[in-house]
Amino acid sequence: MKKTIANQRPSKCRQIRAHLHKAIRSHFGPDADWVQNHIGNCPRCQRRFASIGKVNLALSLVKSQPHKLDLLMRANTQAIGVLKRSLREAPKANTLKNMQPEPSLLERCSVYKRSVANVAACITILFLMKIGVFSFMDKFQTEGQKVITQYYVNQVGEDLANDIFTA
Protein backbone atom coordinates (compact mmCIF):
# COMPACT_ATOMS: atom_id res chain seq x y z
CA MET A 1 0.00 0.00 0.00
CA LYS A 2 2.78 2.34 1.04
CA LYS A 3 4.59 1.48 -2.13
CA THR A 4 1.67 2.55 -4.35
CA ILE A 5 1.36 5.88 -2.54
CA ALA A 6 5.07 6.44 -2.97
CA ASN A 7 4.72 5.63 -6.67
CA GLN A 8 1.82 8.03 -7.08
CA ARG A 9 3.59 10.92 -5.38
CA PRO A 10 5.94 12.08 -8.15
CA SER A 11 3.17 12.28 -10.75
CA LYS A 12 0.94 14.18 -8.32
CA CYS A 13 3.80 16.54 -7.47
CA ARG A 14 4.36 17.08 -11.17
CA GLN A 15 0.66 17.83 -11.69
CA ILE A 16 0.61 20.31 -8.81
CA ARG A 17 3.74 21.99 -10.10
CA ALA A 18 2.22 22.29 -13.58
CA HIS A 19 -1.01 23.77 -12.14
CA LEU A 20 0.94 26.22 -10.00
CA HIS A 21 3.04 27.27 -12.96
CA LYS A 22 -0.07 27.81 -15.08
CA ALA A 23 -1.81 29.77 -12.31
CA ILE A 24 1.22 31.98 -11.72
CA ARG A 25 1.62 32.62 -15.44
CA SER A 26 -2.03 33.56 -15.90
CA HIS A 27 -2.05 35.90 -12.87
CA PHE A 28 1.41 37.40 -12.96
CA GLY A 29 2.71 36.73 -16.49
CA PRO A 30 2.99 39.33 -19.25
CA ASP A 31 -0.40 38.25 -20.63
CA ALA A 32 -2.28 39.01 -17.40
CA ASP A 33 -4.94 41.72 -17.76
CA TRP A 34 -3.56 44.05 -15.11
CA VAL A 35 -0.08 43.89 -16.68
CA GLN A 36 -1.49 44.60 -20.14
CA ASN A 37 -3.53 47.53 -18.79
CA HIS A 38 -0.45 48.99 -17.17
CA ILE A 39 1.68 48.58 -20.29
CA GLY A 40 -1.02 50.32 -22.31
CA ASN A 41 -0.59 53.46 -20.18
CA CYS A 42 3.12 53.40 -19.31
CA PRO A 43 5.61 54.54 -21.98
CA ARG A 44 8.64 53.20 -20.05
CA CYS A 45 7.18 49.71 -19.83
CA GLN A 46 6.16 49.93 -23.49
CA ARG A 47 9.80 50.64 -24.39
CA ARG A 48 10.98 47.75 -22.20
CA PHE A 49 8.51 45.36 -23.78
CA ALA A 50 9.42 46.54 -27.26
CA SER A 51 13.12 45.89 -26.64
CA ILE A 52 12.43 42.42 -25.19
CA GLY A 53 10.25 41.76 -28.23
CA LYS A 54 13.16 42.75 -30.44
CA VAL A 55 15.44 40.22 -28.71
CA ASN A 56 12.82 37.51 -29.17
CA LEU A 57 12.44 38.50 -32.82
CA ALA A 58 16.21 38.32 -33.33
CA LEU A 59 16.31 34.90 -31.64
CA SER A 60 13.56 33.56 -33.87
CA LEU A 61 15.32 34.99 -36.95
CA VAL A 62 18.53 33.20 -35.93
CA LYS A 63 16.57 29.99 -35.39
CA SER A 64 14.72 30.16 -38.67
CA GLN A 65 17.82 30.73 -40.80
CA PRO A 66 18.38 27.54 -42.82
CA HIS A 67 21.78 26.03 -43.61
CA LYS A 68 22.81 23.86 -46.56
CA LEU A 69 21.74 20.22 -46.39
CA ASP A 70 25.28 18.95 -46.71
CA LEU A 71 26.61 20.92 -43.73
CA LEU A 72 26.43 17.93 -41.38
CA MET A 73 28.25 15.78 -43.93
CA ARG A 74 30.99 18.37 -44.36
CA ALA A 75 31.36 18.90 -40.61
CA ASN A 76 31.57 15.13 -39.97
CA THR A 77 34.12 14.67 -42.77
CA GLN A 78 36.29 17.48 -41.43
CA ALA A 79 36.08 16.23 -37.83
CA ILE A 80 36.79 12.60 -38.77
CA GLY A 81 39.77 13.76 -40.81
CA VAL A 82 41.66 14.79 -37.67
CA LEU A 83 40.88 11.65 -35.65
CA LYS A 84 43.12 8.59 -35.42
CA ARG A 85 43.60 6.52 -38.53
CA SER A 86 41.81 3.53 -37.03
CA LEU A 87 38.75 5.68 -36.35
CA ARG A 88 38.98 7.29 -39.77
CA GLU A 89 38.85 3.89 -41.39
CA ALA A 90 36.06 2.46 -39.26
CA PRO A 91 32.88 1.54 -41.19
CA LYS A 92 30.88 3.94 -39.00
CA ALA A 93 33.06 6.82 -40.19
CA ASN A 94 31.91 6.25 -43.76
CA THR A 95 28.29 6.32 -42.66
CA LEU A 96 28.90 9.57 -40.79
CA LYS A 97 30.57 11.14 -43.82
CA ASN A 98 27.36 10.63 -45.79
CA MET A 99 24.96 11.48 -42.98
CA GLN A 100 22.19 14.01 -43.58
CA PRO A 101 19.97 15.68 -40.98
CA GLU A 102 16.68 13.85 -40.61
CA PRO A 103 13.50 15.34 -39.18
CA SER A 104 12.46 13.93 -35.81
CA LEU A 105 9.53 11.51 -35.49
CA LEU A 106 7.33 14.31 -34.14
CA GLU A 107 8.12 16.53 -37.12
CA ARG A 108 7.47 13.68 -39.54
CA CYS A 109 4.12 12.96 -37.91
CA SER A 110 3.08 16.62 -37.89
CA VAL A 111 2.22 16.30 -41.63
CA TYR A 112 -0.63 13.97 -40.71
CA LYS A 113 -1.80 16.09 -37.76
CA ARG A 114 -4.82 17.58 -39.55
CA SER A 115 -6.06 14.31 -41.00
CA VAL A 116 -5.64 12.58 -37.63
CA ALA A 117 -7.68 15.37 -36.01
CA ASN A 118 -10.43 14.96 -38.66
CA VAL A 119 -10.57 11.20 -38.18
CA ALA A 120 -10.71 11.66 -34.39
CA ALA A 121 -13.59 14.15 -34.77
CA CYS A 122 -15.51 11.69 -37.00
CA ILE A 123 -14.97 8.84 -34.54
CA THR A 124 -16.18 11.03 -31.67
CA ILE A 125 -19.35 11.97 -33.56
CA LEU A 126 -20.00 8.32 -34.43
CA PHE A 127 -19.45 7.36 -30.82
CA LEU A 128 -21.86 10.04 -29.60
CA MET A 129 -24.48 8.84 -32.10
CA LYS A 130 -23.96 5.28 -30.99
CA ILE A 131 -24.55 5.99 -27.33
CA GLY A 132 -27.61 8.11 -28.15
CA VAL A 133 -26.36 11.47 -26.97
CA PHE A 134 -28.06 13.25 -29.85
CA SER A 135 -31.50 11.71 -29.19
CA PHE A 136 -31.05 12.55 -25.52
CA MET A 137 -30.27 16.16 -26.50
CA ASP A 138 -33.49 16.30 -28.60
CA LYS A 139 -35.47 15.07 -25.62
CA PHE A 140 -33.73 17.61 -23.43
CA GLN A 141 -34.61 20.40 -25.87
CA THR A 142 -38.36 19.48 -26.05
CA GLU A 143 -38.50 19.22 -22.24
CA GLY A 144 -36.90 22.66 -21.98
CA GLN A 145 -39.37 24.09 -24.49
CA LYS A 146 -42.26 22.67 -22.46
CA VAL A 147 -40.95 24.32 -19.28
CA ILE A 148 -40.63 27.70 -21.00
CA THR A 149 -44.15 27.41 -22.49
CA GLN A 150 -45.51 26.60 -19.04
CA TYR A 151 -43.71 29.65 -17.64
CA TYR A 152 -45.25 31.92 -20.26
CA VAL A 153 -48.70 30.37 -19.69
CA ASN A 154 -48.40 31.21 -16.00
CA GLN A 155 -47.12 34.72 -16.63
CA VAL A 156 -49.09 36.05 -19.64
CA GLY A 157 -51.93 33.58 -20.08
CA GLU A 158 -52.56 30.61 -22.35
CA ASP A 159 -53.77 32.56 -25.44
CA LEU A 160 -50.73 34.82 -25.65
CA ALA A 161 -48.34 31.97 -24.91
CA ASN A 162 -49.89 29.93 -27.72
CA ASP A 163 -49.54 32.91 -30.08
CA ILE A 164 -45.85 33.25 -29.19
CA PHE A 165 -44.89 29.59 -29.56
CA THR A 166 -47.04 28.71 -32.56
CA ALA A 167 -45.83 31.72 -34.60
Partner 1 sequence: MRGSAVSYGLIWDLAVCETVDKSQQWILSAMQKHGPELVTMLWRILGNEQDVCDAYQSTFLQLAHYQSRCKPEHTKAYIFRTASNVAVSMLRRKIAEKERLSTVVAKKPLRPLANELDSKYLQERLRGCIARLPEHLRSVITLRDLAELSYAQIGRMLGITAATARVYRCKAIQLLSVWMNKEKREKL
Contact yes or no for 164/152 (Cβ under 8 A): yes
Q: Residues interacting with partner 1, by CB under 8 A?
A: 47-48, 51-52, 54-59, 61-63, 65, 67-68, 71-72, 74-76, 78-84, 86-87, 90, 92-93, 95-96, 99, 101-102
Comparison of 61 and 147: residue with beta carbon closer to partner 1: 61
User: Smaller CB distance to partner 1: residue 84 or 114?
Assistant: 84
Closest approach of partner 1 to the CB of residue 13, in Å: 14
* CA pair distance 158, 150, nearest whole angstrom: 9
- Residue closer to partner 1, measured from CB, 103 or 144: 103
Q: Among the residues of the chain, which ranges form H helices?
A: 2-28, 33-41, 43-64, 71-81, 85-88, 91-97, 105-109, 113-130, 133-156, 158-166
* Shortest spacing between CB 63 and partner 1, in angstroms: 6
User: How far apart are alpha carbons 54 and 31 in whole angstroms?
Assistant: 17
